[in-house]
Amino acid sequence: MADCSSIQKSLAWCQGRPELPGVKRRIYYISKYDIVKWPTLQHDANGRLTSSSYSGDFTLRADVKWKFIDIIAEKSQLTSEAQGEYPSQTQLNKLVAVHPGVEAEATAAAAYLNNNDNVFLVEDMRGAFRVVGSDKWPTKTTVTQDLGQGATGSTSTTINVEATDECPAPFYAGSIEADEGIINPEGNPNQNTGSSSSGNTSTGGTPSYDNTVYINNYPYTVSKLGKQSAYGPIRSIKITGKNMNGLSIVYNNKDSEDEIPVSNGGSEALWSGSISYPNTIDVYRGDSASGNSIELWFTISILKAGEPIGD
Residue by residue, DSSP assigns 23-83 as B-SEEEEEEGGGEEE--B--B-TTS-B--SB-BS--EE-TT--BEEEE--GGG-EEEEEEE
pLDDT at 39: 92
Residue that wins the pLDDT comparison between 2 and 280? 280
**pLDDT of residue 18 exceeding 50:** yes
Type of residue found at 178: A
Distance CA 51, CA 264 (A): 14
- CB contact set of 176 (below 8 Å; sequence gap of 6+): 28, 58, 66, 121, 129, 182, 183, 184
Cite the DSSP H helix spans in the chain: 104-107, 109-113
Distance CA 55, CA 51 (A): 9
Taking a C-beta distance cutoff of 8 angstroms, is the pair 288, 207 a contact?
A: yes
Count of alpha carbons within 13 angstroms of residue 69, beta-carbon side: 34
Taking a C-beta distance cutoff of 8 angstroms, is the pair 118, 134 a contact?
A: no
**pLDDT of residue 291 exceeding 70:** no
Distance CA 288, CA 267 (A): 15
CATH architecture of the domain with range 208-303: Sandwich (2.60)
Taking a C-beta distance cutoff of 8 angstroms, is the pair 300, 260 a contact?
A: no
pLDDT bin (cut points 50, 70, 90) of residue 266 is: confident
Average pLDDT value over all residues in the chain: 87
- Residue 94, CA distances (Å) to 39, 85, 91, 110, 203 in order: 21, 19, 10, 18, 41
- Residue 164, CA distances (Å) to 17, 29, 48, 103 in order: 30, 16, 16, 31
- In the DSSP assignment, the letter for residue 264 is G
- In the DSSP assignment, the letter for residue 124 is B
| DSSP structure string for 125-137 | TTS-EEEE--SSS
**pLDDT of residue 19 exceeding 70:** yes
pLDDT at 282: 95
Our CA dihedral for 60, 41, 311, 259, rounded to 10 degrees, sits at -120
In the chain, CATH 2.60.40 sits at 208-303
Taking a C-beta distance cutoff of 8 angstroms, is the pair 12, 216 a contact?
A: yes
User: What average pLDDT does this structure show over 159-184?
Assistant: 92
Distance from chain centroid for Cα 22: 15
Type of residue found at 108: A
Distance CA 115, CA 92 (A): 18
Strands 294-303 and 226-231: parallel
Taking a C-beta distance cutoff of 8 angstroms, is the pair 121, 177 a contact?
A: no
pLDDT in tens, 206-260: 889 999 999 998 999 999 999 999 998 999 999 999 889 889 999 988 888 999 9
Global confidence as pTM: 0.63
**pLDDT of residue 127 exceeding 80:** yes
- CB contact set of 299 (below 8 Å; sequence gap of 6+): 226, 227, 228, 280, 281, 282, 283
Residue that wins the pLDDT comparison between 246 and 119? 119
